[in-house]
Amino acid sequence: MLKRLFLAVGLTVTSALPGFAASLDTVTERGVLRFAVYRDFPPFSHRVGGSLEGADVDLAKAIAGKMGLGVEFMELTADENMDDDLRNAVWKGSILGGGVADVMMHVPVNRDFAQRNDLVVIFGAYQRETFAVARDPSRISETAGFPVFQTEKVGVELDTVPDFFLSGAFGGRLRENIVHYGTVDQAADGLRAGEVAAVFAPLSQLEGALGPDKAKFPIGRMAAPNLNPSEWKIGMAVKQDGHDLAYRVGAVVTELLDGGTVKAIYDRHGLTHSAPAE
């Protein structure tokens, strides 16, 4: 996921035939707001016993409820990069069919990224995410920095920002102690099993993956002055001609942030909510 968030390639639109965006009036008349959420992306959107759960799922329900609408979900299989995900979710649709959603959740709110993807409107930041380290306190002290991984093993999700950062940090001296996993959840399992002394990943994903084991494996920041981005905002996207829908949904998100609903959702999932900076 992080590779798609931060290392996405440019969007090619020369052969695109964008579909029509649902206007606010159309959505209101239909009575249902359709959200795109990522498939198998805990703790934000994933299946538990057949039921779709997660912080993004609950926030989408709260938005639709505040607007007096029903809610539907389109589960999005992540493509090669975020640009492709936006195309599949909101402005064109997948070549496999399934249509498009009215609103896509969990989109990075970044000016350069938004300018590159001019077929969508990116808006409604609801979380400020950051990187963190979950550690085995019997092997890594609270005051340790990244040089500790010259002697201790650290787990990362393969081909993500933490992976690339650690591979190049300190002249490559940490590289031999990096252990690659397919997901953050798998890396957390490696931490529990003692395969690694720590896991470096986004804070929310670490909290979701460890659950109650956060008490055994403390999560905190490690100073990383050359890590860019070190934090980022998460928001939503609609198709470029859906400005009226974006304004209305954005206003609802602001109400939910100010009223404490977003924080309550994150609390319910055992996650730290950090309000996005203005």
User: How far apart, in whole angstroms, are the C-alpha atoms of residue 276 and residue 278?
Assistant: 6
Beta strand spans in the chain (E):
32-38, 46-48, 51-53, 70-76, 103-109, 120-135, 154-157, 178-181, 198-202, 219-220, 231-239
**How would CATH label the architecture of 130-220?**
3-Layer(aba) Sandwich (3.40)
Per residue in 4-48, pLDDT (tens digit) is: 454 443 322 323 334 455 788 889 999 999 999 999 999 999 999
CATH code 3.40.190.10 region(s) in the chain? 2-128+232-268, 130-220
The answer to whether residue 234 scores a pLDDT higher than 90 is: yes
pTM of structure: 0.89
Nearest to residue 139, comparing CAs of 224, 221, 218?
Answer: 218
Neighbours of 220 (CB within 10 A): 10
Joined tokens for residue 90: 């909101």
CATH class label, 2-128+232-268: alpha beta
Per residue in 251-278, pLDDT (tens digit) is: 999 999 999 999 999 999 999 999 997 6
Per residue in 134-158, pLDDT (tens digit) is: 999 999 999 999 999 999 999 999 9
pLDDT at 8: 40
pLDDT at 12: 29
Cα 276 to chain centroid, rounded:
14
